[in-house]
C-alpha cells in the first residue's frame, strides 16, 4: 500500500506543472567618458601600456604616436617616419610594454617598382588625411616604440601594390600584420610576419579581386588565423552570399590550409574583429537590414555559440568575452530600447550567456576598438564627427 501511495505521489510530481520565473533582464549601465584623443582625421586608434594610453595615427601626412595619462595629459609625442608621406593604422603592445605600430610608407629608392592601380585604395571608408597620397604607400612598415617614447627600430617590406594595414598582433617570437592591398583586379588581403627584431619574412596575398583581411591571431603552434571578408573563391571554397565573412587558417609556412565561410543569402557578411580566443564580431547586411554577428569559434573553427543584434557599422571583439557595436534595436536579454543608434558593450560567460551590458552616449558614429588593461580596466574607443573618445564602464 505504501508503495502504491509512493508511486501515485511520484506520478503527480512528474505531471504537475512547475513554475519558472522569467529570466531577469540585465540593466544597461552607462559608461563614463575617460578622455578624448583628437579628431577622427588624425587618430587611428589607441593601445594601453601599463597606465599609459598610446594614441597613434597620421597628422600632416606623417605617422605619429603619442602617450597620455588617464586624464588626457600628454607624456610624450613622437613622429614615427620622415618619409614624404606615411600612415599609422594599427598597433599592439608586447609583454614588455613596448608598442608595435603598423602602417604604410612610400617605397625607398631602388625598391620594387610600383604597379599602377586604377583607383586609390580606401578600405572600410577609412579616414585618410587629405595630404597623404595613398597611391605612394607601397611598403608595409613597423615601428617599435618603447613605453618611454623612444623609437627602437623601423622595418619595411616593399610590395608592388598600394596597401592599408588593418591590424597587428604581437607575441614573444614576433609580429603579424594584416590588411588590404590594391591589385590590378580589385583588392586582396595580405599577411606579413616579422621575427622579434621586426625583420619581415615574405608576404602572403589572400585572394586577388575582392578579399579583405581585418584581424589576425597568432597561435602558440606557429600558425595564424586571419579574419575578414571575401566575394571570391578562396582555397577552393566558393562564395555563398554576395560577400562572405571568412576565417582563414595559415600554416607556419604561410600556406592557407583551411577556409570557413559565414554567409547570408543575397547579402553581405564580414568579420571585423577577432580576439585571441576566437570570439569574432562582424557585420551582416541583407534584405535592407543591418546586424552585428557575434560568434565564439573553437580552435577547429566550429561555432560554439552565436548572436545577431540589430546594429549599424563595424563591431569589435575584446579580450575573451566582450563585443562592442552600435545598437539600434531592443535586445531581449536586456532592459534596453535605444531611441537612436548607441554604442553598446556586452559581456558573455563561457557558454555565451550575456552577463553584463554598458552603453556609451548616443551620437558616437562608430566603434573603433576595445582595450583591456589590468591598471585601467576596460576601455572602449568610439568616434563621432568631432572627436575620438575613450569611455569606460569601470572608472578607476
In Å, what is the CA distance from 140 to each residue of 144, 173, 306, 322, 325? 14, 19, 34, 30, 29
Look at residue 108 in the predicted model and tell me its pLDDT: 74
**Class of the domain covering 23-392:** mainly beta
Domain range annotation of the chain: 23-392
First-to-last alpha carbon distance for the chain, in angstroms, is 68
Look at residue 8 in the predicted model and tell me its pLDDT: 37
pTM of the model: 0.88
Separation of alpha carbons 102 and 284, rounded Å: 28
Separation of alpha carbons 58 and 61, rounded Å: 6
Look at residue 314 in the predicted model and tell me its pLDDT: 96
Separation of alpha carbons 344 and 45, rounded Å: 18
Separation of alpha carbons 44 and 37, rounded Å: 10
Torsion, Cα 259 164 264 277, to 10 degrees, reads 60
| Cα radius of gyration rounded to whole Å, the chain | 23
Separation of alpha carbons 376 and 303, rounded Å: 31
Per-residue pLDDT in tens (0 to 9) along the chain, 396 residues? 333 333 333 334 334 443 444 579 999 999 999 999 999 999 999 999 999 999 999 999 999 999 999 999 999 999 999 888 999 999 999 999 999 999 999 987 445 544 433 334 554 445 444 444 455 899 999 999 999 999 999 999 999 999 999 999 999 999 999 999 999 999 999 999 999 999 999 999 999 999 999 999 999 999 999 999 999 999 999 999 999 999 999 999 999 999 999 999 999 999 999 999 999 999 999 999 999 999 999 999 999 999 999 999 999 998 789 999 999 999 999 999 999 999 999 999 999 999 999 999 999 999 999 999 999 999 999 999 999 999 999 755
Look at residue 130 in the predicted model and tell me its pLDDT: 47
Give the angle 357-361-364 at the CA atoms, nearest 5°.
Answer: 110
**291-300, long-range: CB within 8 Å, 24+ apart, which pairs?**
292/323, 292/325, 293/245, 293/262, 293/269, 294/323, 294/346, 294/348, 295/262, 296/348, 296/352, 297/247, 297/260
Nearest C-alpha neighbor of 36 from the set 91, 74, 82: 74
Please list, in sequence order, all residues whose beta carbon lies within 8 angstroms of the beta carbon of residue 159, skipping any fewer than 6 positions away.
Answer: 112, 138, 139, 140, 181, 190, 203
Separation of alpha carbons 239 and 102, rounded Å: 30
In 94-195, the DSSP E strands lie at 99-106, 137-145, 151-158, 163-171, 174-182, 187-195
Amino acid at each position: 500500500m505504501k508503495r502504491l501511495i509512493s508511486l501515485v505521489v511520484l506520478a503527480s510530481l512528474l505531471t504537475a506543472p512547475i513554475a519558472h520565473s522569467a529570466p531577469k533582464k540585465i540593466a544597461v549601465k552607462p559608461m563614463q567618458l575617460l578622455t578624448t584623443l583628437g579628431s577622427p582625421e588624425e587618430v587611428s586608434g589607441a593601445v594601453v601600456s601599463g597606465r599609459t594610453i598610446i594614441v597613434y595615427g597620421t597628422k600632416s601626412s606623417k605617422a605619429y604616436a603619442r602617450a597620455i595619462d588617464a586624464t588626457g595629459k600628454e607624456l610624450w609625442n613622437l613622429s614615427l617616419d620622415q618619409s614624404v608621406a606615411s600612415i599609422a593604422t594599427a598597433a599592439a603592445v608586447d609583454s614588455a610594454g613596448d608598442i608595435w605600430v603598423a602602417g604604410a610608407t612610400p617605397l625607398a629608392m631602388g625598391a620594387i617598382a610600383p604597379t599602377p592601380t586604377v583607383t586609390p585604395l580606401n578600405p572600410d571608408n577609412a579616414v585618410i588625411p587629405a595630404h597623404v597620397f595613398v597611391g605612394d604607400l607601397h611598403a608595409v612598415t613597423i615601428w617599435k616604440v618603447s613605453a618611454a617614447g623612444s623609437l627602437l627600430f623601423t622595418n619595411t617590406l616593399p610590395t608592388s601594390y598600394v596597401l592599408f594595414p588593418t591590424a597587428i598582433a604581437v607575441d614573444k617570437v614576433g609580429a603579424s600584420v594584416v590588411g588590404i592591398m590594391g591589385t590590378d583586379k580589385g583588392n586582396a588581403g595580405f599577411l606579413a610576419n616579422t621575427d622579434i627584431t621586426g625583420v619581415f619574412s615574405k608576404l602572403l596575398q589572400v585572394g586577388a579581386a575582392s578579399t579583405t583581411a581585418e584581424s589576425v591571431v597568432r597561435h602558440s603552434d606557429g600558425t595564424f588565423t586571419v579574419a575578414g571578408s571575401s566575394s571570391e573563391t578562396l582555397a577552393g571554397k566558393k562564395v555563398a552570399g554576395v560577400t562572405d565573412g571568412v576565417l582563414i587558417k595559415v600554416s607556419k609556412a604561410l600556406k592557407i590550409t583551411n577556409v570557413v565561410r559565414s554567409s547570408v543569402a543575397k547579402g553581405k557578411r564580414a568579420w571585423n574583429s577577432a580576439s585571441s580566443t576566437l570570439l569574432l564580431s562582424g557585420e551582416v547586411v541583407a534584405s535592407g537590414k543591418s546586424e552585428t554577428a557575434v560568434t565564439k569559434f573553437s580552435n577547429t573553427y566550429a561555432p560554439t555559440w552565436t548572436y545577431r543584434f540589430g546594429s549599424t557599422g563595424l563591431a569589435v571583439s575584446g579580450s575573451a568575452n566582450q563585443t562592442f557595436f552600435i545598437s539600434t534595436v531592443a535586445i531581449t536579454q536586456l532592459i534596453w530600447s535605444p531611441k537612436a543608434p548607441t554604442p553598446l558593450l556586452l559581456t558573455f560567460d563561457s557558454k555565451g550567456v550575456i552577463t553584463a551590458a554598458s552603453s556609451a552616449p548616443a551620437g558616437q558614429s562608430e566603434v573603433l576598438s576595445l582595450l583591456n588593461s589590468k591598471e585601467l580596466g576596460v576601455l572602449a574607443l568610439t568616434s563621432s564627427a568631432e572627436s575620438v573618445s575613450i569611455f569606460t564602464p569601470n572608472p578607476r
